[in-house]
Structure 1
Amino acid sequence: MQKIKTALLSYGMSGKVFHAPFLNLHPGFELQGSWERSKKLIQLDYPEVTSYPSLESVLESDAELIVVNTPVGTHFDYAKQVLLAGKHALVEKAFTTTVAEAQELTALAKAKGLKLAVFQNRRWDSDFKTVQKIVNEKLLGDIVEAEFHFDRFNPILSPKIHKETANAGAGILKDLGPHLIDQALCLFGMPKSVFADIRITRENSIVDDYIDILLYYSDKRVRLKAGFFVREANPSFVLHGKKGSFLKPRGDVQEDELKLEKKPNLTTWGTEPKEKEGLLHTEVNGSIFREKIPTLQGNYYDYFDGVYHSIVENKPEPVTAQEGTHVMQIIEAALESNAQQKVIAID
């Protein structure tokens, strides 16, 4: 199997939890190392790799794929440098800070004949995969409305300075928002227009920490919500169709298990506890039933497998730059809607 030499631009939580374990597991990748500015930690977990002292040293290495998993405000500059160095890029969410930046990177990758993937890993969560199956199999009939939540109870400001200072990449809209928006677009495509309420709710916060985004489609409405003052969680996915409803709590275990340094595998990984199963109440072949539905298995490995095949076999990326740009269009429309307090049409 062809090996793709891969390097990270950061070995904080993102690199340690979401990227390195899967790059190490997949036989098609060879983890080369990570740029580490101060703490030198990657060699504690992967002794054979390199701790790069600078971005230049990463770009000058023989890595073929570079993961841009630095703060959002740096994504455009670093991804551009990666592409100009002739290397494929995998960029964390939010893809960029503006639509214009996303479009420039997309055009550059195309001109250079390089792959540019966006890390929207939550498409491979067990809960979302189950929702996607319910929708694709039309078990609810035509969807009339849907509501997705990414709720937490965490009134304390983050110790990560870049997350709590006023900058183009800070705030919940560009942190949790891309997950919700990408999932909605993955299921339903681009909406006709957007209305958004973006607020600051935590004491002493100067960045947005609450979003309520309404996506307008010709035949449905999709609401996306995230905030830090939800002690009793709502269902993370609520879908109502002309035949029935599906309610699903957030149940994906991957992030929690990765934080505990459990190693992913290809058999039991991403298996939700049974008590997190979603409730399906609908009509099939003239019969109405209401029961819990087994949850599909989640696995972020499948995302990285898609990246591998996109490079080796020239297939589309598992999440394309164009899809990342669509998410940025919704984010920009949400910001404009909040500022003007009106519905914003999507071109």
Structure 2
Amino acid sequence: MKNIKTALLSYGMSGKVFHAPFLNLHEGFELIGAWERSKKLIQHDYLYTKSYSSIEELLQDDVDLVVVNTPVGTHFEFAKQALLANKNVLVEKAFTTTVTEAEELRDIAREKKLKLAVFQNRRWDSDFKTVKQILDQDILGEIVEAEIHFDRYNPNLSPKQHKETANPGAGILKDLGSHIIDQALTLFGFPEALNADIRITRDYSLVDDNFDILLYYPRFRVRLKAGFFVREMLPSYVLHGKKGSFLKARGDVQEDELKLGKKPSRDNWGIEPDYKEGLLHTEVNSVVIREIVPTLHGNYFEFFDGIYDSITNNKPEPVTAEDGVNVMRIIEASIKSNEEKRVIEF
């Protein structure tokens, strides 16, 4: 098996929690090191890795895949630099800060025949996989409306300066919004139009921290919501069809377990607690059923399997640059809708 030599552009929370554990344990990858500007920590956790002093030093090394997991405002610059150095690239969400940037990265990768993927790991959350299975089984009938929430109760400002200063990469729309926009497009495709309300609700906040986006499809609507003042959680996924409904809480445990330092595996991993299971109330073969639905296992290993297959077998990326462009199209249109107080048609 070919090893894909991989380097990270930072080793903060994202690198330490979401990338390094999988790259280190996956049999198809070799974690080479990370660009570390001040603290040199990666060699403490992974003995045989390197700590690069600059991106230029990293790009000059024998690296097959570069993970751009720096603040959103730097994604375009660093991803472009890596692509021009003939490296395959994996970019954290949000992909970029504008559609124009996203399209330029996509076009460079195509021209140079390199792989460019977006790290939308939430497609491999246990809750989302279960929701997708329900839709794939077509047991709700024709969908009438759906909601996806990514709510939290956290009135305090983040200590990370890049998240709370007014800059093109900051705000909840590009952070949590990127996840649920991507999930909506994965489930339902690209909408015909949208209407968005984007607000600041926390004291002293300089960046958006609440949004409500309504996506218009020909025969149904999808609402996307996120905010920091939700102490009592509603179901994060609400699907209503002409035969029935499915309600599911956000219950994936992977992030919490990774933050505790637990090592991911392919088997006993991503298992939600039973009380987070979804509720299905529908009609099957003229019989009304109301039952709890077991949750599928979540596993980010599946995303890295897709990256490996993409690079070694020239298969499509698990989340393509075009997927990233489409998420940015929704984000830009939402900002325009909020500013102009109107529906934006595509």
Q: Specify if TM > 0.5.
A: yes
Equivalent-residue separation in structure 2 for 1:182 and 1:291 (angstroms): 28
- Superposed structure 1 runs of 4+ greater than 3 Å apart: none
Paired with 1:25 and 1:129, the residues of 2 have a C-alpha distance of 23
Q: Tell me whether 1:35 sits opposite 2:35 in the alignment.
A: yes
Question: What secondary structure, in the 3-state scheme, does the structure 2 residue paired with 1:211 have?
Answer: strand
Give the C-alpha shift of residue 139 in structure 1.
1.1
| 1:137 to partner: Cα distance | 0.7
Corresponding residue of 2:298? 298
Alignment correspondent of 1:342: 342
* DSSP 3-state at the match of 2:31: strand
User: 1:21 matched to which residue of 2?
Assistant: 21
The residue correspondences of 1:217-236 to structure 2 (distance < 5 A) are 217-236=217-236
- 5 Å-filtered alignment, 1:136-151, equals 136-151=136-151
Figure out how many residues of one structure are paired with residues of the other and give that number: 346
Question: What do residues 93-134 of structure 1 show as CA deviations (whole Å, max 9, x unaligned)?
Answer: 000000000000000000001000000000000000000000
CA distance in 2, matches of 1:212, 1:240: 19
Partner secondary structure for residue 219 of structure 2? coil
SS of the aligned residue for 1:195 comes to strand
- For the pair 1:87 / 2:93, whether they are aligned, the reply is no
Give TM-score scaled by structure 2 length.
Answer: 1.00
Partner letter of residue 257 of structure 1? E
**1:4 maps to which residue?**
4
Q: CA deviation at 1:227?
A: 0.4
The Cα of 1:196 is off from its aligned counterpart by 0.3
1:34, distance to aligned residue in structure 2 (A):
0.4
Aligned pairs for 1:209-288 within 5 A: 209-288=209-288
Distance 2:98 2:185 in 1: 18
| Counterpart Cα distance in 2 of 1:124 and 1:194 | 26
Query: Residue type of the partner of 2:46?
Result: Y
* Structure 1 segment 40-59 matched on structure 2, within 5 A: 40-59=40-59
Which digits, 9 at most, give the CA deviation of each residue in 1:25-58, with x for residues without a partner? 1100000000000111111110110011111111
User: Residue 60 of structure 2 corresponds to which residue in structure 1?
Assistant: 60
State the one-letter code of the partner of 1:321.
A
Q: Does 1:69 align with 2:69?
A: yes
> What does residue 161 of structure 1 align with?
161
Q: Output one character per residue of 1:149-208: Cα deviation in whole Å (capped at 9) or x when no partner.
A: 000000000000000001000000000001010000000000000100000000000000
Question: 2 CA distance for matches of 1:78 and 1:29?
Answer: 21
2-side partners of 1:258 and 1:157: how far apart?
23
Aligned partners of 2:290, 2:309: CA distance in 1, in Å?
40
Deviation at 1:62? 0.6
Between the aligned partners of 1:19 and 1:286, the Cα distance in structure 2 is 47
Q: 1:135 corresponds to which letter in structure 2?
A: L
Q: Which amino acid aligns with 1:226?
A: A
Q: Unmatched 5+ residue regions in structure 2? A: none
Q: Which amino acid counterpart does residue 154 of structure 1 have in structure 2?
A: N
The answer for unaligned runs of 5 or more in structure 1 is none
In the TM superposition, what is the alpha-carbon distance from 1:74 to its structure 2 partner? 0.3
Aligned twin of 1:134: 134
The residue identity in structure 2 corresponding to 1:28 is: G
Cα deviations across residues 192-230 of structure 1 (Å, max 9, x unaligned)? Answer: 001000000000000000010000000110000000000
Residues 251-280 of structure 1 show CA distances to partners (whole Å, capped at 9, x for unaligned) of 000000000000000101001111110000
Counterpart secondary structure, 1:173: coil
SS at match of 2:173: helix
The AA in structure 2 aligned to 1:253 is V
Q: Which whole-Å CA distance do the structure 2 matches of 1:22 and 1:287 have between them?
A: 44
Aligned mates of 1:212, 1:94 — CA distance in 2: 18
Identity of aligned residues (%): 71
Question: Secondary structure of 1:174's match?
Answer: coil
Provide the rounded CA distance (Å) in 2 between the counterparts of 1:8 and 1:345.
38
Q: Secondary structure at the match of 1:151?
A: coil
Q: Does 1:205 align with 2:205?
A: yes
- SS of equivalent residue, structure 2 residue 279: strand
CA distance in 2, matches of 1:25, 1:281: 40
Counterpart Cα distance in 2 of 1:13 and 1:213: 29
Q: What corresponds to 1:120 in structure 2?
A: 120
